[in-house]
Amino acid sequence: MNSSSSLIYIIVFSILINNVVLSQFLGICPFLGVSNKVATAAGMGGAVIFVITIASAVAAVIYHFVLLPFNLDYLNTIVFILVIAALVQLVEMFLKKSSPGLYKALGVYLPLITTNCAVLGVVLLNVQNGFNFVQSVVNGFATACGFALSLVIMAGLREKMEYNDIAKPVKGMPFTMFTASLMAIAFCGFAGLK
Amino acid sequence: MKPNTPIERLFNGIVKENPTLVIILGMCPTLAVTTSAMNGIGMGLSTTAVLAMANLFISLLRKIIPDEVRIPAFIVVIASFVTMVDMLMEAYTPALYEQLGIYIPLIVVNCIIFGRAEAYASKNGPVASLFDGIGMGLGFTISITIIGFIRELIGSGAVFGHPIGSLPDYMPSIFVMAPGAFMVLATMIVVRANIINHIEAKRGTRLPVEHTDEPGAQCSGCAFVGSCAGKFQKYEAEFKKEGENK
């Protein structure tokens, strides 16, 4: 397998080996904040998959056809964050008009995604790794799937542990972080797949 | 202490409302770059520079920026300073730049900066805002340096990059890997919560600043300004109302 550039390698790498939350620490805020219930977590995961995939595609087009030809690639960060912010708004409006069903399922989560560092992180990583359009989209999709996976697992664990008797200072945020720590140890095992 | 004086702002940022340990903001860089104390200092100081400059400029522009477009305006100001810091670091501290990598451009989405712009700089004068930024930034720097110091010491048996004797051979390297980050931070929050509980029990009152899980409560100052549970519940309520109206 021609490593780092083959699409299958990118998918396995982004979902399992280099999980966006558990080994790159991007998108920690929603990971800790919106993981109370499995249904909510799945909704958030779906919205993130949707937005990151579209954002990767749009950012790849802008980077290859606007920023590079005009030697403006030092403006990366500013352009990408604005594109993402505008894109989330657009997606929201578009979904509201065109597919109310999907909007009903994902709409609540969309405003939260603009400031999710996973979106900007993936887009910047695509550029740093020198991915082309197809690789960027696949990497975006796979990374977002990794995010959704860890979010849903976390929510499942937290639902089970909700009524456990936990010492008061550890309850809440620290306990969630200890759980995340154990999940990260489990995901470390996937490093062997490399 | 008089409110909004430079010294009060510094004290507030470093001790009273320490962004990492008290209001749990900016988790991504806190967890990601704290594999060594040096990284912590580098990340902390670059964030401080952005925070101070962005606070100053947003405060100067606060009467010009219309309220409706303030969020995109803040984003542009913050992103410009991040780009400057990014280029300066690439030129003058290439080794550190290599280490911190993608987390430097990601300072843009660090919720501390956005939180301070929204909660403080857009409502107060430039001098107080500048010192608020410096105070918050130093508070962030100090706490992530401590986390980095602990992880480096336990994980690789070194202090600021200098290995202690043959200690590195016996240390559990899991502490400089991903799981250690969560573990050390969780332990620090537990210790802090214990101290706070102790003080509260002694005084018989609740301390003014505290992270809250209650829906919508003190959102601007609280943990997940970017994407928190409280804000989420607010959105959910609005969303439901909108659905019923149809």
Of residues B177 and B17, more confidence is placed in B177
pLDDT, one tens digit per residue, over B37-76 is 888 999 999 999 999 999 999 999 988 888 877 878 888 8
Confidence label for B236 from pLDDT (cuts 50, 70 and 90): low
Does B206 map to a domain?
no
- Give 10-residue mean pLDDT values along chain A (194 residues): 69 85 82 79 84 91 89 85 84 82 72 75 88 90 92 90 78 83 88 75
**B185 and B241 housed in the same domain:** no
Domain count within chain A: 1
Chain B hits for A187, Cβ within 8 Å: 178
Residue A156 is predicted with a pLDDT of: 92
Type of residue numbered B213: D
**B246 and B135 housed in the same domain:** no
**B172 and B236 housed in the same domain:** no
Residue B103 is predicted with a pLDDT of: 87
**B151 and B74 housed in the same domain:** yes
Ranges A136-145, B130-139, B162-171: which has the least confidence: B162-171
Does B241 map to a domain?
yes
| Structural domain boundaries, residue B183 | 6-199
Contact assignment for A124 to B187 by CB distance below 8 Å: no
d(CA B56, CA B50): 10
Chain B hits for A173, Cβ within 8 Å: 24, 186, 189, 211
Q: Collect all residues with Cβ–Cβ distance below 8 Å to A194 and sequence separation of at least 6.
A: A13, A17
Residue A61 is predicted with a pLDDT of: 92
**B62 and B85 housed in the same domain:** yes
**B157 and B226 housed in the same domain:** no
Of residues B121 and B216, more confidence is placed in B121
Confidence label for B242 from pLDDT (cuts 50, 70 and 90): low
Does B144 map to a domain?
yes
Closest CA of chain A from B2, distance in Å? 33
Residue B243 has pLDDT above 80, yes or no: no
Confidence label for B215 from pLDDT (cuts 50, 70 and 90): very low
Confidence label for B3 from pLDDT (cuts 50, 70 and 90): confident
d(CA B122, CA B99): 33
**B18 and B98 housed in the same domain:** yes
Question: Is B15 at the interface with chain A, CB within 8 A?
Answer: no
Residue B165 is predicted with a pLDDT of: 77
Mean pLDDT of chain B: 77
Does B63 map to a domain?
yes
Question: Is B117 at the interface with chain A, CB within 8 A?
Answer: no
**B114 and B220 housed in the same domain:** no
Does B119 map to a domain?
yes
Residue A113 near residue A143 (C-beta atoms within 8 A): no
d(CA B171, CA B159): 13
Confidence label for B217 from pLDDT (cuts 50, 70 and 90): very low
User: Across residues B238-246, what is the average pLDDT?
Assistant: 59
Best of A21, A113, A173 to mutate (most B CBs within 10 Å, chain B): A173
Contact assignment for A26 to B28 by CB distance below 8 Å: yes
Best of A17, A18, A23, A29 to mutate (most B CBs within 10 Å, chain B): A29
Does B98 map to a domain?
yes
User: Across residues B153-181, what is the average pLDDT?
Assistant: 83
Residue A5 is predicted with a pLDDT of: 65
Task: Choose the closest CB to B83 out of A78, A82, A104.
Answer: A78
Closest CA of chain B from A121, distance in Å? 7
| Structural domain boundaries, residue A17 | 3-193
CA neighbor of B123 nearest in space, from B222, B2, B4, B208: B4
Residue B134 has pLDDT above 60, yes or no: yes
d(CA B195, CA B192): 5
Task: Choose the closest CB to B197 out of A81, A115, A169.
Answer: A169
Residue B222 is predicted with a pLDDT of: 38
**B117 and B51 housed in the same domain:** yes
**B230 and B191 housed in the same domain:** no
Contact assignment for B227 to A33 by CB distance below 8 Å: yes
Does B205 map to a domain?
no
Confidence label for B15 from pLDDT (cuts 50, 70 and 90): confident
Residue B213 is predicted with a pLDDT of: 41
Domain count within chain B: 2
**B35 and B131 housed in the same domain:** yes
Q: Which residue of B lies nearest to A114 if distances are taken between CA atoms?
A: B226
Residue B211 is predicted with a pLDDT of: 43
CB pairs under 8 A between A and B: 146
**B94 and B169 housed in the same domain:** yes
Query: What residues 30-49 of chain B have any CB closer than 8 A to a CB of chain A?
Result: 31-32
Distances (CA, A) of B217 to A141, B213, B224: 34, 8, 12
Of residues B236 and B84, more confidence is placed in B84
Best of B87, B109, B112 to mutate (most A CBs within 10 Å, chain A): B109
Task: Choose the closest CB to A121 out of B79, B102, B111.
Answer: B102
